[in-house]
Structure 1
Amino acid sequence: MSDDLDRIRQRIDIVDLVGQKVTLSQRGKTWKGLCPFHDDKNPSFQVNRELGRYRCWACGAQGDIFNWVMETQRLTFTEAMHELAAMAGIKLTKGAERTTPSQREAEDALMALALKFYREQLDKASRALEYCEERGFDRQIRNYWELGYAPSLGDALAQRIKKEGLSLTLAQSLSLLDKDAGGSFFDRFRGRLMVAIRDERSRLVGFGGRILGDGQPKYINSAENPVFQKGRLLYGLHRAKEPMSKGEPAVLVEGYFDVVACHRAGLTTAVAPLGTSLTEDQVRLLSRWTNQVNVLLDGDEAGLKAAERAMEMLIPAGLAPRIITLPSGDDPDTILRREGADGLKSRVAEGKSGLEFRLWLLERRKSPESREFWQELAELIAKNADPLQSETWIEKYAPRFPGVKDALAKRTALREMVTSHRPAPAARSRRREAPKAPRGRRMFTELHSAEIRILSALTESHLVPQADTALREASLWETPMAEKFRAAYLRMAPDRAPQEPLSAWIHTLDDEDFKSFLAWHADKASLLDPEAQEKEIEGAMDRLRERAEARRLRDQMVEPEWDTEALRQLTDRARRLKRGDEAKSETDDDLFA
C-alpha cells in the first residue's frame, strides 16, 4: 500500500487540491490563505508544495493531502485514499482496493447504462411525464435529480444490457435484474418513475422506483448488495454536503420527493433515509458534515413517532435536533405547492427544540388533569441542563398546576416536583484544567535554541549527516519536546540518515508537530554559505554537550561523599560552563525574525 500512497502523493499537487476550497497567494516557497478550519481573519494558513504539507499557525490544523481530504470531506483514511486515487487516475494495487479495478469498472458501466436507459425512456413515457408535471418536476429538475422511467415491458433493460455485451449476472447482483424459475432474466423495476441514488461521493449505487397508478408497494429500492446498502446511505447527501460543510444545518425528510421539494425551496441541505427508520450509520454520516439537524417529517402520527425516534438517535451522537411539526396529512411537497418556498422555509425556521417537542407531544397525548402528565412534565424539565430555561418552562406551566389556587404556591409546587426528579450533583474538583492552547509556533518556545538549530538542519540535505550524528547522541537532548522529535526521527531512520531530500521522507514521520516544525524551517532560507552553516551546527552541538556536562556536574554535587574542596571545584566549573552558555546565547540570531 505504501507504493500506492507514494504514487498518489507524486500525482496530486497539494496547492491545487487545497486551492479548490481556499484562495491561496504565494509567499516565497509557501502559499498562504485564510484557514478553513476556524474563523480566520488574518491569513494564518500555510501550504508547502515541495513538502506536500499544510499548517494553520493559529488553530493548529495540519497534515498532507490525505488529512486534507479526510477533514474537508469527513472521510476515513481508506475512503480518502480511494478518493485521491480516483482523482489522480491511479488504480490501486491488490490489498488496497476493496474490489478489483475491473469489477468496479464493470459495476459502474452497468449502473451508468441503466441510468441512461431509464432517462431515455422517461422522454417517451407520456404517463410518467404527466405525473412529473403534476409534481412540478420540469425538465431542469428531472435532469438535476436524474429522474427516469422503467417501462412496463418485462425485460426491456435486460435486452439492452445484453445488446451492449455487459454481464446479465452482474446486473442481477446489482439489483437491476431478477431471474425467473426458468432461468430467464427480467427487469426488477417495471412501470415506475425512477430515482438515481448516489452515495456521498456521487457514485451511482442504486435506484428507487415509485409506481405510477394503483399497486403496491408504492416505492421499492434496489435490493441490498455489496454496492447498495440502504442503511448506510442518505438520499441527496452528495448535493447537500457542500452547504452543510459551510455551517448550514441538515434538513432530514422522509422520502426522495421531499428532498426534491426542499431543494426547490432553497433548503439545499435536505436528505432522506431510503425507506427505513434512521440508522446509526446514517446518523454518523450526518455527523461528518453538520452538528445541527432540522427534522421535517410528515405531520401524521407515524411521522411524529419517526421524529421522536430520530431525536433519540441524534442527541447521543452530539447532533442538536430541531423538530418541525407539520399539519396532519402534510409533507414538504404539499407545503411547497400550497404555501410556496417562503412558506416552507418559515416552517423550518420555527422548529422546536428537543425539549419543546417532547413537551408538545406530552400535551397531545396526556391530559393536564392527570397526575401522569405532571410527573412526566417534571421529568422532562429536570433533564434540561439550563436552569434559566427550566425556570421559563416552570413559569409557563405553573398556572395550570392542579390542586393549588395561589399562583406563587403553584410555581413552588411545580418547582419542587422538578427538583425532586433532578439527579444529585456530582462532587466537583476544585482544580480547573487549563484550556489547551493551539500548538502553532509555541512548540518552538519549548525547545532550546541549540536544539532548534540542529533539528532544523534536517531540512538541508548537506547538513543531515551532522544532524543525524547529534540525534543519535542521547545525552545531548534536554527538553521534552526535543526528546519527542528525536524519538520520532529514530523511528523513521533507525539505522542511518536518510539519503533522499526532506520532501521524500517527511510524510513517513509519525509525529505531526515534528512535521510542522520541519515544514516551517524548510521555508526559511539561510543567509550563510554551506561551510558557515556546518560550523553553526558544530557550535550548537558543542553548546548542548556543555549543557549536558553541566547537568552531570550538578547531579554529582548532590552526592554526600564529596569533600568541600571537590565541591568547590565542581561549583566553579559549573559556573564557567553556565557563563559560557549564556554568552553564546546572547549572540544567537533571532530565529523568528
Structure 2
Amino acid sequence: MPVFTDEFIERVRNANDIVEIIGQEVQLKRSGQNYIGLCPFHSEKTPSFSVSPDKQMYYCFGCHAGGTVFNFVMETAKISFPEAVRTLAMRANIPLPEDASISPADRARQKERQLLLRVTHWATDFFHSQLRRSPIARDARAYLENRGLTPALIEAMKLGFALPDWSGLIKAAQRNQIPMPALAKLGLIIPRKQHGYYDRFRNRVIIPIADERGRVVAFGGRALDDSQPKYLNSPENPLFNKGRLLFGLHRANTAINRAGVAVLVEGYMDCLSAWQHGVEHVVASLGTALTLSQARLLKRYTNQVILCYDADSAGMRAALRGIDVSVQAGLQVKVASLPAGEDPDDCLRRRGLDFFIDEVLGKAKSAVDYQLDMLRREYPLNEPEGKARFVTAAVTVLSRLNNEVAKNAYAQQLARELQVPEQAVLAELAKQSRMGDKDGNSRNTRDMSPTIELDQDPVLQGCQIAEDKLLSLVINNLVEAEEVLLAWQELDVYAYPVDRQVVKLLLNELQKGKTLDIRRLIEQFEGEEVGQRLAQIAWAESFELDNPVVVAGDCLGKLKQLAIRQAISEAEKRLRNEKDAVQRKLLLQELQLLLEKQKGLRH
C-alpha cells in the first residue's frame, strides 16, 4: 500500500463530508449548527456524540472520542490510517497514486525505517551473544537464573547483556559497519557534548521490546548494580511509541485468544516471570499508565482484561486509570489484588503458581467493586461526614453503570453496609443520573479525564481552565505560539498531565518549521490521550478575547501559582523529614522565599 502525500490526504479528506460518512453508521439529528446522536464508541442513552459540518470533526462528551473523518473510519472499521485513506479515496472515486507518486520525504522515511529495523536486529543478536558468551556477563546470567528464567525462555526472548564499557556497542558497530546515526536515532548511543558517542545501556540485562509482529523496535535494560537507575528503556524513536505498544503481545496473543482474557501487568520482568510460571496470557504496558491506544490494541484479541498492578499506591492509581481507559476501549475489566508490597513477579516466586491463579487472578474484582474498595479506604466511614462524602463519590461510580438492576443492587448493598436508609442512597443516585443527563450535551472542555475523586481545589480548577485557554489560543493562532509554549514548558507545571506531551509535540512541530495542522496531529495520534486532548481543544469554541496576549499572560500566571504551590508542598515535605539542624534552617529559608513569591503573585 502506498504512503500518501499530505496533498493527497487533504484531497481525500475534503471529498468526504464527515456528516454523510458518520450518518451511515449513526442516526444523526440537527442541533443548532451541529448534529448529535448516540455515540458508536460507548453505550449511552442520552446523545453526547456531536458532529460539526463546519469543522469537519466529531467529538463525544461522554467517552472523549474525537477526530476527523479518517479517525472515524479507522475506529469503526478497525483499520490503519493508510487503509482509511484508501477506503475514502475509493469511495470518492479518487484514483490511488502509484508508488512513483510517493514524495521524496516519504520514500526517505520508508528507507530509514528499513535501516533501523536491520540495526535493531543486529543489536539484539549482539546483546544476546554477549549474555551467552562473555565472561563479564557472569552476574547477568546469575541474575536471570535467580529470577527463575530458564535457558529456553532466555533464548526465545533473545535476552541479552550490555557490557559495562562506555563504548562496547559502539566498537562492535564499527567493526560491523553499522552507521552511528542509526544507533543514535534508536537511542542506543548518546552524543557526547564535545564529539563522539557513548553507549546508553551499560552493565545491564537487556530485554528486546518487539512490536505486534515480533519485530524488535526498542530495548529495556535492568541494572545489575545500584550505581544507576534500576530500569532504563529506549527513548521513543521512528520505530517505537511506547503508548501504542504492549510488551509481549506478539508472543501472548494466541494464549489470550485461547483464554478469552488478557492479564495486564506493569513491567516486562513481571511478564517474563508469568510466562516462565506457565501464565502465558500476560502482556505488559512497559511501566506506564495504560493508554487508550494500548487498550484498543488489546481489544483486537479479547473483550476482557484483568489489571494486575503492583500492590502500592502508584499501582492502585494506575489501576483506577486503567479501568477508565479499558471501559472507553470497550473492554470488560477486572482488577486483581496482590499481597501488600508485592508485584506479580514477587508473588509468583514467593507463593507459587496455584496461589497466583486461585487467590490473585481467580479473585479479581469487578471494576465497580474495586473502585468502591478504594473509596472505602479514603473516607472515614465511622463519621457522618465521611459517610456522606463516600456515598457521593460512590454514586458517581455507580451512575456509570448501564444496567439499572446492577445500580439498585449496589445501592442496597451500600445502604446495608453504611446502616443508612436505602432510599437515601437511591436519591443520591437519582440526583447523579439527572446531573449526568443534563450535562450530556453541555460538558465543557474541562471534563477531560473523569476520576472517582473530582478535585474541587479552586487553584487547580483555575489552572485547568488556563491550560484550555492557552491551547485554544495556540491552535487558533491568536498568540505567538512558540513563545507561549516555551514559557509554559519552562514553568514545567501541568494541571492536566497529558498537556506535558501536548506542549512538547506542538513545540516540536513549530521548531521543525511546520505550521500547526491540528487535524493531521489528531489523525496521527488516533487512540492516544494526546490525540483525544487535541480533539477536545479543537472542538471547543475559541474564546472571545479582546486581548489574547494579556489573556495568555494571565493564564501563565495561574500556572506559575500552581508551580510555586507545588514547590512549597515539596519543601514542607522535605522539612518534615529532615533531622539535620543546618539543613532544616536552609529549608526554612527556601520555604520563606517561596511563601513570599506566592504572596506576591496574589497581589
Closer/same/farther in 2, CA of residues 106 and 378 from structure 1, 3 Å limit = closer
* 2:102 is aligned with 1:95: yes
Deviation at 1:424, TM superposition (A): 8.0
Partner of 1:412: 423
The residue correspondences of 1:411-430 to structure 2 (distance < 5 A) are 411-423=422-434
Q: Give the distance between the partners of 2:286 and 2:301, measured in 1 at CA.
A: 19
* 2:264 is aligned with 1:252: yes
Report if aligned partners of 2:415, 2:422 keep a CA contact under 8 Å in 1: yes
* 2:245 maps to which of 229, 233, 257: 233
Q: Give the distance between the partners of 1:92 and 1:337, measured in 2 at CA.
A: 53
Q: Write the deviation string for residues 71-90 of structure 1: whole angstroms up to 9, x where unpaired.
A: 9x965274899xxxxxxxxx
Sequence identity, in percent?
A: 34
* 2:362 is aligned with 1:349: yes
Q: Secondary structure at the match of 1:423?
A: helix
Partner of 1:561: none
Partner of 1:511: none
Deviation at 1:362, TM superposition (A): 0.9
Q: Secondary structure at the match of 2:240?
A: coil
Partner of 1:474: none
Partner of 1:384: 401
* 2:80 maps to which of 76, 80, 91: 76
Q: Give the distance between the partners of 2:332 and 2:168, measured in 1 at CA.
A: 47
* 2:235 is aligned with 1:223: yes
Partner of 1:46: none
Partner of 1:364: 377
Q: Partner letter of residue 317 of structure 2?
A: K
Q: Secondary structure at the match of 2:411?
A: helix
The residue correspondences of 1:247-396 to structure 2 (distance < 5 A) are 248-346=260-358, 347-368=360-381, 369=383, 370=386, 371-396=388-413
Q: Give the distance between the partners of 2:223 and 2:389, measured in 1 at CA.
A: 45
Q: Write the deviation string for residues 129-179 of structure 1: whole angstroms up to 9, x where unpaired.
A: 111111101211211222110010111111111111221222111212122
Q: Secondary structure at the match of 1:421?
A: helix
Deviation at 1:99, TM superposition (A): 4.9
Q: Give the distance between the partners of 1:315 and 1:3, measured in 2 at CA.
A: 33
Report if aligned partners of 1:251, 1:267 keep a CA contact under 8 Å in 2: no
Q: Give the distance between the partners of 1:423 and 1:268, measured in 2 at CA.
A: 44
Deviation at 1:311, TM superposition (A): 1.1
Q: Give the distance between the partners of 1:366 and 1:230, measured in 2 at CA.
A: 35
Q: Give the distance between the partners of 2:354 and 2:321, measured in 1 at CA.
A: 28
Q: Write the deviation string for residues 7-59 of structure 1: whole angstroms up to 9, x where unpaired.
A: xxxxxxxxxxxxxxxxxxxxxxxxxxxxxxxxxxxxxxxxxxxxxxxxxxxxx
Partner of 2:147: 135
Deviation at 1:181, TM superposition (A): 2.8
The residue correspondences of 1:99-178 to structure 2 (distance < 5 A) are 99=108, 102-123=111-132, 124=134, 125-178=137-190
Report if aligned partners of 2:149, 2:273 keep a CA contact under 8 Å in 1: no
Q: Partner letter of residue 373 of structure 1?
A: F
Q: Partner letter of residue 173 of structure 1?
A: K
Q: Give the distance between the partners of 2:263 and 2:101, measured in 1 at CA.
A: 39
Deviation at 1:353, TM superposition (A): 1.1
Partner of 1:584: none
Q: Give the distance between the partners of 1:149 and 1:321, measured in 2 at CA.
A: 36
Q: Secondary structure at the match of 1:209?
A: strand
Partner of 2:503: none
Q: Secondary structure at the match of 1:289?
A: coil
Deviation at 1:322, TM superposition (A): 0.7
Closer/same/farther in 2, CA of residues 181 and 293 from structure 1, 3 Å limit = same
Report if aligned partners of 2:2, 2:102 keep a CA contact under 8 Å in 1: no
* Greater displacement, 198-207 / 413-422: 413-422
Q: Partner letter of residue 365 of structure 1?
A: E
CA RMSD of aligned residues (A): 3.2
Deviation at 1:197, TM superposition (A): 0.6
Report if aligned partners of 1:157, 1:187 keep a CA contact under 8 Å in 2: yes
Partner of 2:441: none
Q: Partner letter of residue 308 of structure 1?
A: L
In structure 1, stretches of 5+ residues that fail to align are 5-69, 82-90, 405-409, 428-593
Deviation at 1:187, TM superposition (A): 1.3
Q: Partner letter of residue 281 of structure 2?
A: T
Deviation at 1:422, TM superposition (A): 2.6
Partner of 2:198: 186
Q: Give the distance between the partners of 2:194 and 2:300, measured in 1 at CA.
A: 47
Q: Give the distance between the partners of 1:267 and 1:308, measured in 2 at CA.
A: 24
Closer/same/farther in 2, CA of residues 155 and 76 from structure 1, 3 Å limit = same
Q: Partner letter of residue 266 of structure 1?
A: G
Partner of 2:555: none
Q: Give the distance between the partners of 1:282 and 1:377, measured in 2 at CA.
A: 28
Deviation at 1:400, TM superposition (A): 3.7
Report if aligned partners of 1:264, 1:341 keep a CA contact under 8 Å in 2: no
Q: Partner letter of residue 367 of structure 1?
A: P
Q: Partner letter of residue 357 of structure 1?
A: Y
Q: Give the distance between the partners of 1:423 and 1:196, measured in 2 at CA.
A: 51
Between the two proteins, the alignment pairs up a number of residues equal to 347
Deviation at 1:101, TM superposition (A): 6.1
Q: Secondary structure at the match of 1:112?
A: helix
Closer/same/farther in 2, CA of residues 100 and 94 from structure 1, 3 Å limit = farther
Q: Give the distance between the partners of 1:225 and 1:3, measured in 2 at CA.
A: 19
Report if aligned partners of 2:295, 2:325 keep a CA contact under 8 Å in 1: yes
Report if aligned partners of 2:220, 2:231 keep a CA contact under 8 Å in 1: yes
Q: Give the distance between the partners of 2:309 and 2:365, measured in 1 at CA.
A: 13
Q: Write the deviation string for residues 339-381 of structure 1: whole angstroms up to 9, x where unpaired.
A: 2222212211221111111111111111223221222233333
Closer/same/farther in 2, CA of residues 381 and 106 from structure 1, 3 Å limit = closer
Q: Partner letter of residue 118 of structure 1?
A: F
Q: Secondary structure at the match of 2:306?
A: strand
Partner of 2:224: 212
Report if aligned partners of 1:128, 1:149 keep a CA contact under 8 Å in 2: yes
Q: Give the distance between the partners of 2:417 and 2:3, measured in 1 at CA.
A: 71
Q: Give the distance between the partners of 1:378 and 1:99, measured in 2 at CA.
A: 54
Q: Give the distance between the partners of 2:120 and 2:184, measured in 1 at CA.
A: 11
Q: Secondary structure at the match of 1:293?
A: strand
Closer/same/farther in 2, CA of residues 170 and 412 from structure 1, 3 Å limit = closer
TM-score, with normalisation over the residues of structure 2?
Answer: 0.53
Closer/same/farther in 2, CA of residues 329 and 79 from structure 1, 3 Å limit = farther
Q: Partner letter of residue 113 of structure 1?
A: W
Work out which of the two has the higher radius of gyration on C-alpha atoms and give 1 or 2. Answer: 1
Report if aligned partners of 1:94, 1:100 keep a CA contact under 8 Å in 2: no
Deviation at 1:108, TM superposition (A): 2.5
Q: Give the distance between the partners of 1:173 and 1:75, measured in 2 at CA.
A: 28
Q: Which one has more relative contact order, counting CA pairs under 8 Å at least 6 apart? A: 2
Partner of 2:452: none
Q: Secondary structure at the match of 2:198?
A: strand
Closer/same/farther in 2, CA of residues 184 and 359 from structure 1, 3 Å limit = same
Report if aligned partners of 2:125, 2:158 keep a CA contact under 8 Å in 1: no
